[in-house]
Amino acid sequence: MSKRIALIAHDQKKDDLISFAQDNKAILEKYELVATGTTGKRLIEETNLDVIRMASGPLGGDQQIGAQVTSGHLNAVIFLRDPLTAQPHEPDVSALLRVCDVHDIPLATNKSTAQLILLSFQQLK
C-alpha cells in the first residue's frame, strides 16, 4: 500500500499550499493524496495532481481526515494553518493535532515542516 498524505489549508494559506504542491509535484505524485473539498479542488485544477476530495472543512472534511488517521489510512497530514487570522468557519487544527499525536502520525502546520516530512518519506523508501 502506498503512503497517503492529507492536505488541508486555512483560506489565507491555500495559495501557499498550492505553491508548495507545485514545487513538490514530482514527490507528491508518488503518494495518494487526500484533501478537504475546496483545497482539493484547487489542487486538482492548479497542479493536475490526483487528489481524493473529502467534504469542505466547514462541512466536516477535517473530521473525515481525522477519521482516516484513526483508522490507519493516513501516513501524514499537512495542515497549513493561519495562526493570525483563521476564521471561525475554518477547520480547527487542535482536533487533528490530538488525533495525530494519539496515533503517532506526523502533522505539519507550516511549509518548512511539510518539506521535512516529504524529505523523510523519500529517505525511508
Residue set of the binding site for substrate: 10, 14, 36-39, 56-57, 89
Sheet arrangement for strand 76-80: 51-53, 32-35, 4-9, 76-80, 107-108
Report the binding-site residues.
10, 14, 36-39, 56-57, 89
DSSP string, 69-82: HHTT--SEEEEE--
33 within 8 A of 61, measured Cβ to Cβ:
no
- Which grid coordinates are listed for 16? 501557499
The H-assigned helical ranges of 12-104 are: 14-23, 25-28, 37-47, 61-70, 93-102
Query: Which active-site residues does the annotation give?
Result: 62
Residues, the chain, total? 125
**Grid coordinates 482516516 are at which residue?**
68
